[in-house]
Chain A
Amino acid sequence: MAKTPLYEASTQFKNWRYSPDSLASVRASLNSAAVAVIRNTFESDEPGSSSAVSFLTPDEELLLVRLYISKIPQLCGFFHFPEEVEATAVSYLKRFYLKNTVMDWHPKNVMLTALFLATKTTNNPISLEAYTNNIPKTSPSDVLDLEFLVAQSLGFEFAVWHAHRALWGIWLDLQSVPDAPRNRATTHADIYDAALQHVRASRLSDAELVYTPSQIALASLSMASPDLASEWAASKFPPDSPSVPGLQTTLASIRALIESSVVPNVEAVRAVDLRLKLCKNPEKVVGSKAYLAKKAEDERKAEEKRMKKAAEATTEGDPFGDELAGGPGGIDDDDDD
């Protein structure tokens, strides 16, 4: 496809591709780091209190995330969002949990935020009010409070390359291969639809974090029609091309991922979620003792910094004449730090 070299220059290709092993190790180390921090918080609050807590395992975290991934298509159906929004929100949610853990940030609001952000990044914006008014027990601040954290966790890399787009590209290619039957698009429309369903199923799995959009699209097509998939591959690679055996292995792995991706059992997730209530990071629970303590500490540090800055400004004088003219407020129109 014409897009391939561009895809290879993308942030997705550079920053969001993993091997199955590296995915596992990222998740394990995020999990153990979070457990250590939370254990520590419990202990400093009340020594010995962490020993009774049963923390989530990386697999349990993933289970919870998957459940919320599966809610995205339902919400998108309700709001009539295009497929681009849905696929992008799913990618954001997965990427978020490669930088954060469920024990710090519960996936429910992260999912809602990822979806809201995806409407904007794909240029399908909706007002926050219209969005949250239609979601039970959700207020604008549930989304606003997390939006920045989500964007930051994504590294502000908002562009996502999707398998459903790649499938469309393959489909167009198939209509223009030499001696393709005429009207293929209409007579074989059911194959395209079946392949698209497989692409959608792949979103529940880790496929997009390991494989390229075209690989996932081709594997999905091969599940709907092995013949058409081979025909397309044959038109792209000569039969003796060294990449053909490798491609077959890759496609088989993707098919296995797609076939095994199911919506998690709600009962199993509920049990995990119940335990999460006991082991989540108290510093992230608005209003808790640990939360207030951390906030007070942050504010104390910020105040200290401000004082120091103000002191420097008065002792050294301001090297930039007109900035002082603004009075106390003018010392630092740069209100960030």
Chain B
Amino acid sequence: MDAVEKANTERQKRWVKDQKVGEGTYAVVYRGREASTNRKVAIKKIKVGQFKDGLDMSAIREVKYLRELKHQNVIELLDVFSSKTNLNLVLEFLDSDLENIIKDRSLVFLPADIKSWMAMTFRGLEFCHRNWILHRDLKPNNLLIASDGQLKIADFGLARDFADPGYKMTCQVITRWYRPPELLFGSRYYSTAVDVWSVGCIFAELMLRTPYLAGESDMDQLKTTFRALGTPTEQDWPGHTKLPDYVPIGQFPKTPLRDLFTAASADTLNLLAQCLVYEPRKRISAKDALTHAYFFALPYPSHPSKLPKCAAQITAALPLEELDGNTLSGKTNRLKRKLSSPDDSTKTRSTVARRLDFTKPTPGS
């Protein structure tokens, strides 16, 4: 056997694949464990043989970046091995994602919880940017949550590096609702600011519990954005009317964020506004965001272990033995989720957060 093949077999033996837990566009994900320690892992199996151009670009990007990035708030790639013509990524196992948590109506978010998630997101993002890596697909579904509450940036299938300033890139990245206006206008010279816009949208969504700028088409996305934040003037954003896909969208007045985010503190709104600045060069950087007054003001960020968890996570936190044979069907999960009615959780968590009145309709909806 070749040395390369032998090394691969050694690696493969370290990991045991258990049941399938999910399926993405180009991969099937299994729950598994490390044979020697029983540590729980996720094994993402990417089929290679099916692409006429060989190894798929998303898989290549994901492996390339995760191989290099090691940070508490970035999902850890533990190993890579191949089996026949499949590529297997061994990832740390993460129980849930921020989208699940936002959607779980039984959970109440305190301002301190939101601050904690935002701090972890910015820490992970600052690390990516420091490594010259743009994520380009930040959204709640790609912010995974570990059993200890740590938030991890995942899904680097669209990431790329930007060390070459002014290098042309495609504008067709980032799921629409989290896409900044410069991309919607077809700008091909963009940078870290695109990720910061997405984080701004996530920040707003954490407070609103519903997507902040939910456009129905690319054009509607611009309209929704401008309706919420006002149509940019030449002074707000010099040169934007010269962007390749610029079209006049209509004149919408600027309404103070305060009108929608009625209960948010001044610091909160200031940071949010700085993430959603139209002119990409004036948008706050992840690094500066981390030293923003918001993170130093009261209330302090919740400890990750104290953050709200959804039912699936509570189940997942049980020891492995108790789970065998259950997670695949998801029967236990569904059961538990039903049991935890909104009343249950408001009893255990303070209701202060309810004073944040986010029941007003979202713009554009």
Identify the A interface with B (CB < 8 A): 3, 6, 9-11, 30, 33, 84, 99-100, 104, 116-117, 120-121, 123, 125, 127-129, 140, 143-144, 147-149, 151-153, 155-159, 165, 319-323, 333-337
Contact B3 A30 (CB under 8 A): yes
> What B residues does A152 contact at CB under 8 A?
4, 8, 82
Interface centre among A11, A120, A149, A319 (most CB of B within 10 A): A120
Contact B325 A147 (CB under 8 A): no
With A33-B3, A148-B85, A320-B328 as known contacts, state yes or no: A121 contacts B53, CB within 8 Å.
no
Contact A147 B55 (CB under 8 A): yes
CA–CA, A9 and B65, complex, Å: 13
Chain B interface residue bracket vs A: 35 or more
**Residue from A3, A123, A125, A334 within 8 A of B53 (CB atoms):** A125
- Shortest Cβ gap from A124 to chain B (Å): 11
With A6-B131, A30-B3 as known contacts, state yes or no: A147 contacts B54, CB within 8 Å.
yes
Contact B53 A336 (CB under 8 A): no
Does B17 lie at the interface of the complex (its beta carbon under 8 Å from any beta carbon of A)?
A: yes
Q: How many residue-residue contacts, CB under 8 A, span A and B?
A: 92
Contact B64 A116 (CB under 8 A): no
Contact A159 B60 (CB under 8 A): no
Known pairs A100-B3, A148-B82, A334-B30 / 16 extra A-B pairs, C-beta < 8 Å = A6-B131, A10-B68, A99-B4, A100-B4, A121-B64, A125-B53, A128-B54, A148-B85, A148-B87, A155-B80, A157-B67, A158-B63, A319-B324, A322-B329, A323-B19, A334-B45
Contact B83 A337 (CB under 8 A): yes
Contact A149 B4 (CB under 8 A): yes
CA–CA, A186 and B340, complex, Å: 68
> What B residues does A333 contact at CB under 8 A?
20
- Shortest Cβ gap from B207 to chain A (Å): 34
Contact B67 A143 (CB under 8 A): no
Does B2 lie at the interface of the complex (its beta carbon under 8 Å from any beta carbon of A)?
A: yes
Interface centre among A127, A140, A149, A336 (most CB of B within 10 A): A336
CA–CA, A56 and B61, complex, Å: 37
CA–CA, A155 and B82, complex, Å: 10
> What A residues does B54 contact at CB under 8 A?
116-117, 120, 128, 143-144, 147
With A117-B55, A120-B57, A320-B19 as known contacts, state yes or no: A159 contacts B328, CB within 8 Å.
no
> What A residues does B254 contact at CB under 8 A?
none
Contact B4 A158 (CB under 8 A): no
> What B residues does A10 contact at CB under 8 A?
68
CA–CA, A125 and B2, complex, Å: 30
A-B contact list, 10 entries, CB within 8 Å = A6-B131, A11-B68, A33-B3, A123-B160, A151-B55, A152-B8, A153-B4, A158-B63, A335-B86, A336-B83
**Residue from A100, A120, A320 within 8 A of B60 (CB atoms):** A120
- Shortest Cβ gap from B74 to chain A (Å): 12
- Shortest Cβ gap from B167 to chain A (Å): 9
**Residue from A100, A143, A157, A336 within 8 A of B86 (CB atoms):** A336
> What B residues does A149 contact at CB under 8 A?
4
> What B residues does A120 contact at CB under 8 A?
54-55, 57, 60
Contact B67 A336 (CB under 8 A): no
- Shortest Cβ gap from B77 to chain A (Å): 9
Does B355 lie at the interface of the complex (its beta carbon under 8 Å from any beta carbon of A)?
A: no
